[in-house]
Structure 1
């Protein structure tokens, strides 16, 4: 199963919706867990807009005045919904993964800051899992807890930190959960000025989950629309088959795209053999699309990728040594320039 998880820190704004649609489309997401939507209610059209499709199911927990709000969404052709359970800090969605015909539970988690509330959440999740041991389990979200001191950097140690570490690890062990291997960034949350970072977001699964998806990992994405990084949960297996003809989602929103494709397609020579005809037309269209893409999106996309690469380099430098004042200022400038490319 392919899951996208993100503490989005408010779901409003076109840039966040656009980013979410892009991640969902590029990863082929089947299930999405969002924390801190900061919304009391949604219209159906908003869910369709966030996903970019209307074949979407959802459960929304509004929290307290939007605080601690959670949103779980799934594509109805990939996940068959059965029922759900909600409580403070979690949404558990029970259903069936269509492709593998697997009965599973995906729990969207958002933990409060206080240790006492975390302990209550851990107990609620433990009780829920104990009632349905036979199912395949996945818990993902912002657990707001670390498993060791090296998962937090640049933050003064709190008096409750030792209890948090011990309690969180005990919760994981007691429920026979496994944390998926982390790929990409070392941390998932960053303070705005980059002076502090932690692993707060993570994915915990049952042994049965690993038996179904043995190559499953959590892939940490670039931090773009929140102080948290999105995480993509997927089972990556090598495919040595031929590369298919691919398109970019942004093309379909480009001015004149459909007309350009129709005009060019009709202008290509027609071959007698139907198979060869399609093959040669796709080959010619691929070349024309490269030119059109460069003219329409080339400059914007090139600039955006260059900015993201510079931010990535600063991130890795910061993981080894804290950034100096000049580098922190540079990062602020790059983030500002990145926002300009998204307007």
Structure 2
């Protein structure tokens, strides 16, 4: 438990997966949000658990369009910081179903999408069909979010990278060398798939060894 969050660690009874679910209620100021991001990042980085779900009121948006009716306020710092937190922790946002906004001012003048569900890649490997469903707003100014997992196969998840990797000296050379080290396969399509699978595993190790916890490691790129 910390300022702005409560975390519960447990084992999923059916699958046996050990996972961590974090309920978030962020403060209003940028200082409070930044402190929360740093504490959650340190907590996640120090944990041996890989199956994570962070959900609740982050009090931050990822895009300017997610806040409407907020006047001329500039949210660039908030957006950059929040997206940086998500990217550095290799989190993914579940697809949203229902309303586009999750918070509404009582008079209806302003609305925002400040509530959301973020999960680790390992969570999606366990429950690949998870989505976040926005419920009707009733008593609270916030809409409740419900996570549902429907068993429908949409195909393999896309291969993804982090932009900061490409700015790191030696990254491209490392990728080229690792790619050459993988054995070729008689079937080119299957071989390509297997190579991407091996590269994905190597990139996760490289990211952990080189970057570590991005909120505690200061890097200056010239």
Q: Which residue in 2 is equivalent to 1:113?
A: 28
Q: Deviations over 1:203-262 (max 9, x none)?
A: 000000000110000000111111100100110126xxxxxxxxxxxxxxxxxxxxxxxx
Q: Which residue in 2 is equivalent to 1:158?
A: 73
Q: Which residue in 2 is equivalent to 1:223?
A: 137
Q: Indicate whether 1:171 and 2:171 are aligned.
A: no
Q: Aligned runs of 1:184-203 on 2, under 5 Å? A: 184-203=98-117
Paired residue for 2:124, among 201, 204, 210? 210
Q: Deviations over 1:131-182 (max 9, x none)?
A: 12542000001000000001011111324x1100000000000000001011
Q: Indicate whether 1:104 and 2:19 are aligned.
A: yes
Q: Aligned runs of 1:1-343 on 2, under 5 Å? A: 86-159=1-74, 161-237=75-151
Q: Which residue in 1 is equivalent to 2:179?
A: none
Aligned Cα root-mean-square deviation (Å) = 1.1
Question: Aligned to 1:87, what secondary structure does the other structure show?
Answer: coil
Contact 2:53–2:123 (CA under 8 A) maintained in structure 1: yes
Q: Which has the higher helix share?
A: 1
TM-score, scaled to structure 2: 0.67
How far, CA to CA, are the matches of 1:174 and 1:135 in structure 2? 14
Contact 2:131–2:148 (CA under 8 A) maintained in structure 1: yes
TM-score, scaled to structure 1: 0.43
How far, CA to CA, are the matches of 1:217 and 1:208 in structure 2? 15
How far, CA to CA, are the matches of 1:149 and 1:156 in structure 2? 12
Unaligned stretches of 5+ residues in structure 2: 153-222
Which runs of at least 4 in structure 1 moved beyond 3 Å after TM superposition?
none
Contact 2:103–2:143 (CA under 8 A) maintained in structure 1: yes
How far, CA to CA, are the matches of 2:71 and 2:33 in structure 1? 20
